Structure 1
Amino acid sequence: MAADTHDEPGDRPDPDAAVRGQRVLDLLDRAIDLQTPLVRKNITRARRRNADATPAQVIRSLERMYVSALTGTGAAVGGTAAAPGVGTGLALALSAGETLSSLELSALFALSIAEVHGVPIDEVERRRTIVMGVMLGGSGSTTITKVAERTGQHWGRQVVAKVPVETLRQINKILGKNFITKYGTKQGIIVLGRVAPFGIGAVIGGGANAALATLAVRAGRRAFGPAPTAWPEATYEDAQG
């Protein structure tokens, strides 16, 4: 009896999934493009709180600002989306808008930490590696060091700042696939949670975002290691205007 050569439904490519995945990456690129010009202003804002702050103190301030902002955004959207009278369609639209905001906050955080550490962010592939690597955490770190064929700690300094751009492109192709799978799935769960009954959505939204932010903070610490002991000669005064 001839073997059945028909593909099972689960084996066939899903064009809709490919489109959704590309939308996630497009949102990520948009977030990076929007936030890159604001990196130095973000660092300046953190330094204003203490003119004598060391790089390590500024990094801790950036971490607190990031966790607070991302948690607040998730809770606000969760509460609004679940409020009486808000339809499911509008609730999902609000959450979709908040996804871009979350990406923007995460991009700004990751690139700001890189800047404090003196890691160049002047090239788009480097920025993509930094942002996706931080947001993917341990799996991002493993991918980056494996493709770059480098060992040791702190890939932010050992890989992003040193390997050729062509290598970063190869890294980003793999990170992009992982980002679509892991980040897209997490956001889908969070979005559905925000449409829960009033009050529960705010808790889920804020709590989920806080967890994501905390993981990104830990990943940033592993990626770049100890903060510089002093600021470079160039300051961020030009960003204060």
Structure 2
Amino acid sequence: MPDRVPAEADVSGPAAGVVTAALRRAIRGQAGAARAHVRQLRRAHPDETPARIRERLDARFLSAVTASGAAVGATAAVPGIGTIVAFGAVGAESLVFLEAAAFYTLSVAEVHGIDVREGEHEELLVMTVMLGASGTAILANAVGSSGGAGSLASRSLHVPGLKEINRRMLSRFVRKFAVKRAGLAVGKLAPAGLGAAVGGWGNRRLGRTVVDTADATFGAPPTAWPTP
């Protein structure tokens, strides 16, 4: 039997509700688009392996989140109104980052041939990837040795008690997402163009954590695409 998932304190209140709703909305909105995007990449590059397509996903995700962070930070350089505008934009950009991470995670799942169309598995993997090392630790603890061989992502499809695991994962996710984004927001509000540098660098650093955690969660891509 897998070890018990460590208990997490419940996180409640308006902020938690906003993050939770945004997470689920991002997953619902990006799931179909992610699968379609991988199919389009395969049509555009028919000779490329799953590993090469995965590299494309990594690069596009990092470029997108870096650009969005820099764009928000740059608004703080506008004389008189920059900081006010940037403060409002930071919240919206955080949701953009969340949607980009969900899209990226579900695209990687498609490359690896992992069908996570049931909403709870989609949520589990997106939260795992966004949480970083703590996410993979929670998932590994939940899966234990009962899932057989394969990556954490593939073994998670067979893990029992998914609702409880997701509840604990969500509690951790809400707190960590809020703390990381709040800390980064302060730097993005810096004037004289510094906000753009901080925003771009910070988003890329968070994006790199997402990519590295996807590596740990999904493992190496398959060597070839499945035969139709």
Q: Same fold (TM over 0.5)?
A: yes
One-letter code aligned to 2:62: V
> Aligned with 1:31: secondary structure?
helix
Structure 2 vs 1, CA of residues 89 and 80 (structure 1 numbering), >3 Å: closer, same or farther? closer
Q: How does 1:3-42 map to 2 (within 5 A)?
A: 18-42=13-37
Structure 2 vs 1, CA of residues 231 and 187 (structure 1 numbering), >3 Å: closer, same or farther? same
Alignment counterpart, residue 182 of structure 2, candidates 188, 192, 196: 188
Greater CA deviation, 186-195 or 126-135? 186-195
TM-score by length of 1: 0.83
TM-score by length of 2: 0.88
- For the aligned residue pairs, the C-alpha RMSD in angstroms reads 2.2
1:94 corresponds in structure 2 to 89
List structure 1 runs of 4+ shifted beyond 4 angstroms.
none
* Cα offset, 1:81, TM superposition: 3.6
| Percent identity of paired positions between Structure 1 and Structure 2 | 36
**CA–CA distance in structure 2, aligned partners of residues 153 and 186 of structure 1:** 31
1:157 corresponds in structure 2 to 154
2:138 corresponds in structure 1 to 143
* Structure showing greater relative contact order (alpha-carbon pairs closer than 8 Å, 6 or more residues apart): 2
Report the count of equivalent residues: 218
Q: Which runs of 5+ in 2 are unaligned?
A: 1-10
**CA–CA distance in structure 2, aligned partners of residues 177 and 226 of structure 1:** 29
**CA–CA distance in structure 2, aligned partners of residues 72 and 44 of structure 1:** 25
Q: Which runs of 5+ in 1 are unaligned?
A: 1-14, 235-241
1:8 corresponds in structure 2 to none
In our comparison, the structure showing a higher alpha carbon Rg is 1
**CA–CA distance in structure 2, aligned partners of residues 220 and 63 of structure 1:** 10
Q: Is this contact kept in 1: 2:75–2:83, CA < 8 A?
A: no
**CA–CA distance in structure 2, aligned partners of residues 168 and 153 of structure 1:** 18
Q: Could you report, residue by residue, the CA deviation over 1:187-229 in whole angstroms, capped at 9, with x for unpaired residues?
A: 0111121111121100111001000111111111111111111
One-letter code aligned to 1:57: R
Q: Could you report, residue by residue, the CA deviation over 1:49-89 in whole angstroms, capped at 9, with x for unpaired residues?
A: 53211001000110001001110111011102442232544
Q: How does 1:40-59 map to 2 (within 5 A)?
A: 40-48=35-43, 50-59=45-54
Greater CA deviation, 103-112 or 44-53? 44-53
Residue 212 of structure 2 corresponds to residue 215 of structure 1: no
